[in-house]
Amino acid sequence: QKEVEQDPGPLSVPEGAIVSLNCTYSNSAFQYFMWYRQYSRKGPELLMYTYSSGNKEDGRFTAQVDKSSKYISLFIRDSQPSDSATYLCAMSEGYGGATNKLIFGTGTLLAVQP
């Protein structure tokens, strides 16, 4: 079993839709949960990170962590064609540094149709 599971998609939605992206994990020691966005032929860029459980909102993006279920989500409201990318979840036991290795999901490919 992988430490982090993520549905690879692809996920295709119409412009303006609400998108839900999810990951599950097995390591209960994970405390930091991140979402990266990766455009084609580019490196990943950090969208949001959350410490422990709860919600975090940033504009059209909301990150949710449910540690009891070992489940994290990223919601995108009013999705735009420019949101079309691969979304990677990542998590770690601590934040940053060589000892707090990031464990990534495989990524979900999202296409927002105009």
- List the one residue from 41, 59, 68, 82 that touches another protein (CB under 8 A): 41
- List the one residue from 1, 14, 43, 114 that touches another protein (CB under 8 A): 43
- The pattern of x and - marking residues 50 through 89 that bind another protein according to CB under 8 A reads --------------------------------------x-
Judged by CB under 8 A, does residue 96 bind another protein? yes
Q: What are phi and psi of 72, to 5 degrees?
A: -125, 155
- What is the distance of C-alpha 107 from the center of its chain? 8
Q: Which amino acid is at 100?
A: N
| Smallest distance, another protein to C-beta of residue 96, A | 4
